[in-house]
Amino acid sequence: MLGGEGGFSVEHTPEQSAVIDNIRRRVPGGCSDEGFAALKCPVCGSGLKLDCHPRPGGSALVFVSCLASAAHVGFTDRASVAPAWWAAHRSGGWVVE
């Protein structure tokens, strides 16, 4: 479920939640470019978008979302190591710590 009071929310089936949990484990764990391209939104079947913000020491913050709607899948997580292919998905200025 996303959102909160006054916001929007999406109820996922147990199967959809399991797929999202798998995505949450795989992407910050450093899956390959091909592995990421094969991941699909469990709600609509669209591809996923990756934005990453590099951090000192080689780690990164990542935002993964459904290309059709971040209400389907959308999460931010930390990755201890940023694979080289993430450089093409680099964004700046949206996280400052």
What amino acid is encoded at 14 in this protein?
Answer: P
Contacts of 31 (CB under 8 A, 6+ apart): 39, 83
pLDDT in tens, 4-53: 444 455 789 999 999 999 999 998 888 899 999 999 999 999 999 998 88
Q: Of the candidates 34, 52, 46, which has an alpha carbon nearest to the alpha carbon of residue 72?
A: 46
DSSP assigned state of 90: B
Name the pTM for this structure: 0.78
pLDDT score for 96: 44
Rounded mean pLDDT of 59-71?
A: 90
The Cα 43–Cα 20 span in angstroms is 10
Would you list the domain boundaries of the chain?
14-89
The Cα 25–Cα 42 span in angstroms is 15
Q: Of 64 and 94, which is predicted with more confidence?
A: 64
Read off the tokens for 80.
């201890």
pLDDT score for 89: 81
